[in-house]
Amino acid sequence: MAGTLVVCEHLAGKFSDITFEMLDLANSLGTGEINALTFGSMAENAGELGIANKVISASCSNDFNPETYSAATVAAIESTSPDLILIASTSMGYDLANPVAASLDLPLVAYCTGIQNNGEDFVCTSSLYGGKMNVSSKVSGPVVAMVLSGTHDADSGRREGAPSMSEIAAPATDGKIRFKRLIEPEPGDVDITQSEILIAVGRGIGSKDDIEVAEELAELLNADIACSRPLVDAGWMEKSRQVGKSGFKVKPKLYITLGISGAPEHIEGMKDSATIIAINSDENAPIFDVAHYGVVEDLFEVCEELIEELE
C-alpha cells in the first residue's frame, strides 16, 4: 500500500475536528505513510498533526477556494501517489472531492462512516438516506473517500509531533471563484452552545403549534429549546436554535431529543453531550445508536407524563 493523503480542513485559523477524525482513521488503516495536506499558513500548526509522517503545505490563501484548493490537492496526489485520499464529507469537502476525483479520473466514495483495508482493496461503508441505509463499496486504490464527521475519534487523531515538512505551490487557476467573506451565524436570543440542558425538537413534532409541548417541558426543566434543520427550513424555529453540521455544535449536560431521527448531520452537532435521552416512536431510528437512554414511544404521550410528574 502506498499510503494515505489526509486533506486537512480548517476554519478561522483552526483545524476542524474532522481533520483529526480523518487522521485517526488513516492511522487505523495501516496503509503506510500518512501525508497531511494543509493550506495557507495552517502549516504553522503542523505540530498538532503528529499522526502524519509528513505535512505538505500548499502555499495559497487560508480562505477556502474550491478551485485553488482542488488544484493543490491534485498536485499533492500527483507528487505522493497515495492509495487512499481522505476528504471531509462537509460543505467544503463536497466542493473539493468532486473536482479532484474527476480531474484524476479516480473513484469517489461519499458519506463514509468506516473504511477497511483488505490489503488489495478498501471496503468503504457509506451512510445513506439520513443514516437509514448502510452501503459497502469495494474499491481498489487510488480512491477518494469522503469521511462523515462524528464517525471517528477526533481526540485519538489529535497527537502532538514533528512531522517532516514540504511545500507545494498551489497551481494557478482562472479565478472564477473568489472568496469574499466568512459569514458567521447571527447570535440568537439564546446561545444554545452555553445551555446546560437542551430539548431538541425534530420533524416528528408535526407542526409549529405543537412546539408548545416542548416549551412547556423546557420551562419545567429550566432548559432551552434547540431543533433539527427541517424546523428551521420550515420557518418554525430560528437558525440560532439549529444543532448540527450546518448549525451549532453543542455539549450540554443533558440533551433530550423529541422526534429526531438521528441523521449524521444532526449527530455531528450533539454527540458530545454528557447525557443523551432520545424519544422516538421508531425503534430503528439511528438516534438510539448515540443515546444513553431511549424511549420508543409517541413523544406527546411521554411529554405529557413528564410534565405531569414535574408539576
Q: Does 36 bind ligand FAD (CB under 6 A)?
A: no
Instruction: Pick one of 158, 229, 241, 271: the residue that binds ligand FAD (CB under 6 A).
Output: 229
Whichever of 170 and 279 has its CB closer to ligand FAD, that residue is: 279
Q: Does 17 bind ligand FAD (CB under 6 A)?
A: no
Q: Does 228 bind ligand FAD (CB under 6 A)?
A: yes
For residues 86 to 125, the per-residue mask of contacts with ligand FAD, x marking binding by CB under 6 A and - elsewhere, is -----x----------------------------------
C-alpha cell of residue 106 = 479516480
C-alpha cell of residue 149 = 464527521
C-alpha cell of residue 5 = 493523503
| Contacting range for ligand FAD; rule: CB under 6 A; set: 100-108, 160-168, 207-215, 258-266 | 258-266
Residue pointed to by grid coordinates 413528564: 306
Q: Does 141 bind ligand FAD (CB under 6 A)?
A: no
Alpha carbon distances (Å) from 19 to 85, 115, 149? 13, 16, 9
Query: How many helices (H) and strands (E) would you count in the chain?
Result: 9, 16
Q: Does 260 bind ligand FAD (CB under 6 A)?
A: yes
**What phi-psi label fits residue 215: left (phi over 0), alpha (psi between -120 and 50 degrees) or beta?**
alpha
Neighbours of 60 (CB within 10 A): 20
Integer Cα distance of 79 and 58 in angstroms: 12
Residues in the chain: 311
Q: Does 204 bind ligand FAD (CB under 6 A)?
A: yes
Whichever of 73 and 89 has its CB closer to ligand FAD, that residue is: 89
Instruction: Pick one of 246, 272, 304, 307: the residue that binds ligand FAD (CB under 6 A).
Output: 246
Is there a contact between 50 and 165 (Cβ–Cβ < 8 Å)?
A: no
Whichever of 72 and 97 has its CB closer to ligand FAD, that residue is: 97
CA 197 to chain centre: 23
Q: How far apart are CB 302 and ligand FAD at their closest, in Å?
A: 8
Instruction: Pick one of 247, 250, 256, 290: the residue that binds ligand FAD (CB under 6 A).
Output: 247
Instruction: Pick one of 10, 152, 158, 245: the residue that binds ligand FAD (CB under 6 A).
Output: 245
Instruction: Pick one of 33, 63, 272, 282: the residue that binds ligand FAD (CB under 6 A).
Output: 282
Neighbours of 161 (CB within 10 A): 13
Integer Cα distance of 9 and 17 in angstroms: 8
Q: Does 294 bind ligand FAD (CB under 6 A)?
A: no
Neighbours of 249 (CB within 10 A): 17
Residues near ligand FAD (CB under 6 A) are 91, 130, 202-204, 228-230, 242-247, 259-261, 263, 265-266, 269, 279-282, 285, 298-300
